[in-house]
Homo-oligomer: A and B are copies of this chain.
Amino acid sequence: MPGYAMEKEQVQARLARIEGQVRGIARMVDEDRYCIDVLDQVASVTKALQGVAIGLVHEHLAHCVADAVGESDQAGQAKIDEATTAIARLVRS
């Protein structure tokens, strides 16, 4: 299994952890914790979300895009254009 492959269970586990981290940040704000510590947590959750995104990109390329390429040139290129648009949104977010 390649490094970026993520089973549905793994994606769910990561999202559950991210949800908990966001709740943790809300608690830190509530307790008036030091801004820099809150900011570091926000940066850490952002990185975790990007990790999930990369896993989803890999799954999409390895399944939907690869299948479309196998089907026809036109289907493949359409999926590749769509994937590139999604990747552009990630790179710029």
| Chain A interface residues (CB < 8 Å from chain B) | 2-4, 8, 11-12, 15-16, 18-19, 22-23, 25-26, 29-30, 35-36, 38-40, 42-47, 49-50, 52-54, 56-62, 64-66, 69-70, 76-77, 80-93
**A92 nearest CB neighbor, chain B only:** B50
A39→B26 contact, CB < 8 A: no
B15→A22 contact, CB < 8 A: yes
Q: A52 — which chain B residues lie within 8 A by C-beta? A: 42
Q: Rank and list the top 7 A-B pairs by shortest CB-CB distance, nearest first.
A: A35-B60, A43-B93, A15-B26, A2-B81, A58-B84, A69-B69, A43-B89
B81→A4 contact, CB < 8 A: yes
